[in-house]
């Protein structure tokens, strides 16, 4: 039996696993920004977009063999994004119940 060992961080992992998910999230925000509750774009969504665009540059450099960079200039807004999604969903469900008379 081969012992389990964790897979080390690699450019391939970031490119194949994380970046497609990040791109999809950024695309959803861009394509459906008309569904936002706010009249402005929340900071966590701006940070998400900046994070994704930052990684595009890093990944482009990797494609040319330059592995000197390994991070986007803007960190992924994980907790803030989660809190925003959670609170927005709760607000939506509350408003929906009120409109339906529940």
Angle at 6 between CA 50 and CA 53, to 5 degrees: 10
Give 7's pLDDT tier (boundaries 50, 70, 90).
very low
Q: What size, in residues, is the chain? A: 102
CB 33, CB 49: distance < 8 Å: no
Average pLDDT over residues 82-97: 95
Q: Residue 4: its pLDDT value, please? A: 54
**Coil, helix or strand at residue 81:** helix
Q: Residue 2: its pLDDT value, please? A: 56
CB 11, CB 68: distance < 8 Å: no
Q: Residue 99: its pLDDT value, please? A: 93
Q: Which residue has the tokens 């200039």?
A: 73
Secondary structure letter of residue 34 according to DSSP: G
Q: Residue 63: its pLDDT value, please? A: 86
The C-alpha atoms of residue 44 and residue 46 are separated, in whole angstroms, by: 5
């Amino acid at each position: 039996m081969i012992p389990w060992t964790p897979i080390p961080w690699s450019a391939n992992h970031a490119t194949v696993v994380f970046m497609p998910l990040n791109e999809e999230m950024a695309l959803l925000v861009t394509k459906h920004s008309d569904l936002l509750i706010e009249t402005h774009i929340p900071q966590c969504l701006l940070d998400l977009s900046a994070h994704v665009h930052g990684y595009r540059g890093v990944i482009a450099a990797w494609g040319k063999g330059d592995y000197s960079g390994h991070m986007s200039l803007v960190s992924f807004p994980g907790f803030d994004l989660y809190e925003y999604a959670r609170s927005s969903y709760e607000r939506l469900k509350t408003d929906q119940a009120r409109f339906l008379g529940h």
